Amino acid sequence: MAALKHHLALDVPDTACENILRICDASVYAQGLAVDCERLDIYLPGFTVPVYITEGLAPAFCVNLTASDLGLISVNNPAITELPDGLYTIKYSVSPNDKVYVEYYHLRITATLNTYYKEICKVQLAMCEPTPEQHEKMHDLRYIKMFLDAAKAKAEYCHSPKDAANMLAYAQKLLKKYQSGCCTTCNC
């Protein structure tokens, strides 16, 4: 007879909302085995000490964490603050927390993607063949998006956080270059 054990899993969906980090429980819990001491350990980009979340983590939870929840702003500060793009390390555990856990890299690219989509909206496309200028803009934007997708893959599938962070920084640099009126593949 197989030993009872929980199979922990999280879903960290990408959202367009820059002021929340959504984390949902996708675990399969063993029947007859207690679920105690649920905890999220979240390492924010650039931080070496995690934020611990223990409230609202009953099985099948879905939490929307804000800058206040993550300790980036004071709880008494009513201002809505955007969460930074970058590499988040998220660990979910139950008792015994040192043995029953799952850990993920999540590359948050929400603000960068929102900027990217705004730039796509500026390209006045119609339901016909684009002009050479529109075609060049779309090529440049696809090139940037390829690096954003590659950065996500490096973090979340290849488990290469340094490569992911470098690719994200490069994609953000290309996007700024594009916004300044330069093509992304030329030197200007």
Which pLDDT does position 187 carry in this prediction? 67
Same domain, 161 and 123: yes
pLDDT higher for 125 or 99? 99
Q: Is residue 185 part of a domain?
A: no
Q: What residues have CB less than 8 Å from 133, skipping those under 6 apart?
A: none
pLDDT higher for 83 or 79? 83
Same domain, 63 and 92: yes
Q: Quick one: average pLDDT of 138-160?
A: 96
Pick from 108, 136, 161: which residue ends a domain? 108
Pick from 81, 108, 135: which residue ends a domain? 108
Count of domains for the chain? 2
Picking from 149, 125, 133, 44, the residue whose alpha carbon sits closest to that of residue 91 is: 44
Structural domain boundaries, residue 58:
10-108
How sure is the predictor about 73, in pLDDT bands with cuts at 50, 70 and 90?
Answer: confident
Which pLDDT does position 184 carry in this prediction? 67
Q: Is residue 187 part of a domain?
A: no
Tell me the CATH number at 77: 2.60.40
Rounded to two decimals, the pTM is 0.89
Which pLDDT does position 186 carry in this prediction? 66
Same domain, 123 and 104: no
Quick: pLDDT tens for 99-116: 999 999 999 999 999 999
pLDDT higher for 124 or 49? 49
- β-strand partners of 43: 89
Same domain, 14 and 104: yes
Q: Is residue 96 part of a domain?
A: yes
From residue 182, give the alpha-carbon distance in Å to each of 129, 135, 137, 159, 168. 23, 14, 10, 33, 19
Same domain, 18 and 86: yes
* Helices 161-179 and 110-122, packing angle to 10 deg: 30
Same domain, 54 and 102: yes
| Mean pLDDT taken over the chain | 90
